[in-house]
Amino acid sequence: MRMSLGLTFRSAKGHWVENVSQQRSHGSIESFVPPSPPLDPEKVKELQRFITLSKRLFVMTGAGISTESGIPDYRSENVGLYARTDRRPIQHRDFVQSALIRQQYWARNFVGWPQFSSHQPNPAHWALSNWEKLGKLHWLVTQNVDALHTKAGSRRLTELHGCMHRVLCLDCGEQTHRGVLQERFQILNPAWSAEAHGVAPDGDVFLSDEQVWSFQVPSCVRCGGPLKPDVVFFGDTVNRDKVDFVHKRVKEADSLLVVGSSLQVYSGYRFILTAREKQLPIAILNIGPTRSDDLACLKLNSRCGELLPLIDPH
């Protein structure tokens, strides 16, 4: 299944026009959330008991929490990016080594940005933010780069793989806002137009090579170096200090809840191993099997946004 972004960009008298068609994907959550059985009241009670007993809860979230906000994940059966397309995420090495690949990447990212940046938190993000405010949540780590936890107000948060809303210079490390870069793209490419089809969990979209050959990519305003989203691409590793920081938060916790992750990627899975070493009780909320189902005392195959708001965090 392919999804149209419904976005076209045309220059009209030197001005940019954004034409958002009726095909916007926000309404079609069914496109990205795998089917799940109806909520089991007994399972809800079990999760309630798990949360009530926890005084220092550590939560780890993955792409499955954001599918209900209209962002596809990679691995879900039938509806994930891997199942729907033959496209795969960009590799870190390719991005840093090739100016051409950076040009292709940024052209697609430029087209996808207006929609990707407009996604809003769903009830699962709001529930976790509320748990933090009420003192239930010790720490939240997310594998997502969509900023939806921040938009929901979460502060005790580590974005393990960074955030698409920030841009990093590969040479001097200068951090800037992605929104500012969008304006620079528009100024540099007044006559460029493209139509995008399909969007990935990191905001990447699909364009042909012909569409991107003329796209102009700005460089760092401070040093002229190449720019990269402040995210960990596939093939790159998470900063060691950040990993150590999260390990400490896991060790301080008394229980661990996974929300919307199949735990296939080691960068998140390693915290499950730490929790197991500490013999922390582990609960997993994810539609479909995960790498750690055998380590969990509780497994729920439900929609995050339907289940979490039912839980009383007191």
Q: Which residues are catalytic?
A: 161
Asked if 198 and 5 touch (Cβ cutoff 8 Å), the reply is: yes
The helix, strand and coil proportions of the chain, stated in percent and rounded to the nearest 5, come to 40, 20, 40
For Zn ion, which is the closer residue by CB, 218 or 281?
A: 218
**Is 258 marked within a binding site?**
no
Cα gap 283→46, rounded to integer Å: 10
**Is 82 marked within a binding site?**
yes
DSSP assigned state of 67: G
Q: How far is the CB of 184 from Zn ion (least distance, A)?
A: 14
For Zn ion, which is the closer residue by CB, 55 or 222?
A: 222
**Is 223 marked within a binding site?**
yes
**Is 67 marked within a binding site?**
yes
Q: How far is the CB of 102 from Zn ion (least distance, A)?
A: 14
For Zn ion, which is the closer residue by CB, 20 or 180?
A: 180
The secondary structure element, H or E, covering residue 229 is strand 227-231
**Is 311 marked within a binding site?**
no
Q: How far is the CB of 108 from Zn ion (least distance, A)?
A: 22
For Zn ion, which is the closer residue by CB, 222 or 248?
A: 222
- Surface-to-core class of residue 186, CB atoms within 10 Å of its CB (0-12 exposed, 13-18 middle, 19+ buried): middle
Asked if 76 and 62 touch (Cβ cutoff 8 Å), the reply is: no
Enumerate the β-bridge partners of residue 8: 19, 195
For Zn ion, which is the closer residue by CB, 218 or 225?
A: 225
Question: Helix crossing, 178-188 with 99-116: angle to 10°?
Answer: 110
**Is 143 marked within a binding site?**
yes
DSSP assigned state of 309: G
Q: How far is the CB of 228 from Zn ion (least distance, A)?
A: 11
Residues in touch with Zn ion (CB under 5 A): 169, 171-172, 174, 220, 222-223, 225
Query: DSSP letter string over 94-115?
Result: HHHH-HHHHHHHHHHHHHHHHH
Report CA 133 to chain centroid distance, whole Å.
22
DSSP assigned state of 68: G
Cα gap 120→98, rounded to integer Å: 33
Q: How far is the CB of 212 from Zn ion (least distance, A)?
A: 23
For Zn ion, which is the closer residue by CB, 152 or 167?
A: 167
Asked if 57 and 254 touch (Cβ cutoff 8 Å), the reply is: yes
**Is 261 marked within a binding site?**
yes
CB atoms within 10 A of CB 147: 19
Cα gap 107→204, rounded to integer Å: 9
Q: How far is the CB of 10 from Zn ion (least distance, A)?
A: 32
Specify the amino acid at residue 94.
D
- Residue numbers in the known binding site are 62-82, 143-146, 169, 172, 220, 223, 260-262, 286-288, 304
- Residue numbers in the known binding site for NAD(+) are 62-82, 143-146, 260-262, 286-288, 304
- Residue numbers in the known binding site for Zn(2+) are 169, 172, 220, 223
